[in-house]
Structure formats: structure tokens, C-alpha cells
Structure 1
Amino acid sequence: MLKRIFDILFSLFILVSILIWLIPLIALLIFMTTGERPFFFQERVGREGKPFSIFKFRTMKGYPPVNDPLLSAEETFRITKMGKTLRKYRIDEFPQFLNVLLGSMSIVGPRPERQQFLDNIIEEIPQYSALQSLRPGITSLGQIRFGYADTFAQMKIRARYDLVYLDNLSLWTDIKIIMYTVVVVIKGKGK
């Protein structure tokens, strides 16, 4: 309950103080530079295995295959020039604060995966299924320690960091991960 209250208050603060003007600005820039819709919605697996639509800024041209999900490394040719910048500073993730307010995500939690990738990770690392008791997060220990995963091997490494998070659940752990995330965003350490 305390984590959920923190998520709501923190998200409202970020939305009112920063995102209220930043989201429209970024959306306009994406539309002006690509001519495409600025937001991207994709089905991900949430808490207790329930699917939800994740909100992100569009960083790629066109649409990914629906029935045959590709890893990031297989889709690098679709990333726009502006998309590279949005990813580097993790700005593409900012609309997910709306997911937090809607209750489908948390500020800190395991990376929200697509069903096929989640199934593959659980097949290789069965204990990863325990993370389904948590809401997925905008940021995670795996995201700040490893970053975006381009291959399945990298996804497995990042998944192990998220298991460490599960063993160390606390509001203080969340606050530390948020502080590390702010450093990653400011330094542009995203891929």
C-alpha cells in the first residue's frame, strides 16, 4: 500500500511539474520530424500475468510485427534520429507515468516484457516467474545496472538484476533506484 501511495504521489509530482509541458513538446517534435503519431502503444505483461498497454514516445518508423516480436537488435534500422536521443536520455519512457497512475505499472519494478519474451526468460530462469507478483516498473535495477537489452542473452542478464530487486524490496531500495535512474537520464547513459 505504501509503495502504491508513493507511486501515485511521485507520478503526480512529475506529471504536474515537468511532463505537463514536456509531453506536448516532445509529441510535436516527433510528429514534425517523422509525420507519424508521436505515441506508441504495445501490449506487455503486467502484475499476475495480466496484459496492459504500455505508453511510450515513438522512437521507430512504422510498426513492429505483431505476431513475431523482434529483439531491439533486429529493429535498429527503424530507429529515427530523434528516437536515438529519446532513448539515450530515456525520454521515450516518460509517458509511462500515466501507466503508473492507471495502476498497471509502478515507478520501480521489473521490466515489463512482451509475452513471448517473458515465456522465454521463465523457461531459462524459472524463478523469474516470482516477479509477476509485482507491478512492472518504469525503471528497475536491471535497467540502471544493465540498460536496454538488444538480444535474448542480454535480457537474461537484466532479468537476474530484477531478481536481486525482488530479494531487496523496500521503499528505500525504490528511492535509491530512482536516484540512480536520475543520474542515468542526466548523463544520457541509455542505449
Structure 2
Amino acid sequence: MEQFFDYKMVANRSVVEQAHELLTMAKELEQFKCPLPDKIVADGIIAKLPPSWRNFATSLKHKRQEISVENLIGTLDVEEKARAKDAGPKGNTQEGTSTANMVQRNNHNNSNNKGKGKAFNNAGPKNTTTFKKKKKGGNKDKDPCFVCGGLGHWASNCKERKGGQIRQKFANLTIGNNEDAGRPSAPQ
């Protein structure tokens, strides 16, 4: 009886395995003519869950119906498998802990940067495309202006451009009634 009441579950072992150990202790007590009711054994298992299982134990305690030891062990098995799946191959993660992934930039040292004290390779991005660049010096009569869309001039000489900036011909306008601003609307 003392072993049953003093038993403490640990987080680094299977909870289902430890629940089976408690169930075995309870069955041994029947041999000494001191049987424990199923409800006491189930409540004892819930009370002895490790601290990382506190939220789950609380949810079990809040249930209004009694749970048998077999059903409890099945529920613990499902929860333990779900936690193992969520933890993934990196190991167990406890509630309340956070993890972060770090990405490290790979700095390549080439002959141009050696001894210059530069932290990063300033060689620029590598060209991976095979597109042909458009030749400069297009035809003003064929190619439209990027500002107004007209022919015969480039955007740098466009009359629609003012002070080096593009003048906009259109504006977005919203018209609304401000009388009801800040008041909740009535349900429709």
C-alpha cells in the first residue's frame, strides 16, 4: 500500500508503462485482501502524472463521468503518442518551452576579399538566367513612354513628368458618412 501511495511518475519514461506498474501494485494488494476500487486506482494514476502532463491531468479531473483504469490507460496511450508525434525526432519538448531555428549565412572568402576586412562577399548575385538582355537605344516611334504611354519620346523627356516625378492622372476617393463613426452598427 505504501509503495502505491508513494509512487512518483517521471517524465523521461513512458507514462503508460508507469501506469501499468501502478496497476500491477493495485492487483498485488488484492492478494493481501486489500483491494482498491477502480476509481481510486484511476484517480491515483491521474494524480501521479508528471508535471509536464499537468494540463492533461486537469482536463481529466474536470470530466464529470468516472473513467475506468483500462479506459484511462488507453487515453494516456493516445496522448503519449500524440506528444511523441508533436515532439518529432528532435526529442521531447515540454510545455512552456520554446525553440528557435537559426540560419547561418555562408560567407565565401575569395581572393578579392582577403585581407580587406569585409564581412560579406560583395561580388553580387550570380546570373542564373539565360535571357538575352534588351539592347539599349530602342526606337522612340515604336516603343511607348513608360509615364504616359505615348509614342515619340522617352519617359525622361515626358511632359507628364514634373520635377523628376511622375504626375498621377487618377486618385482613389472614398465617400462615406462620418456621422456614425465610432458607434457600433446595429445588427441586420
TM-score by length of 1: 0.23
Name the structure where strand makes up a greater proportion of residues.
1
* Higher Cα radius of gyration: 2
TM-score by length of 2: 0.23
Greater relative CO, 1 or 2 (CA 8 Å, sep 6+): 1
Name the structure where helix makes up a greater proportion of residues.
1
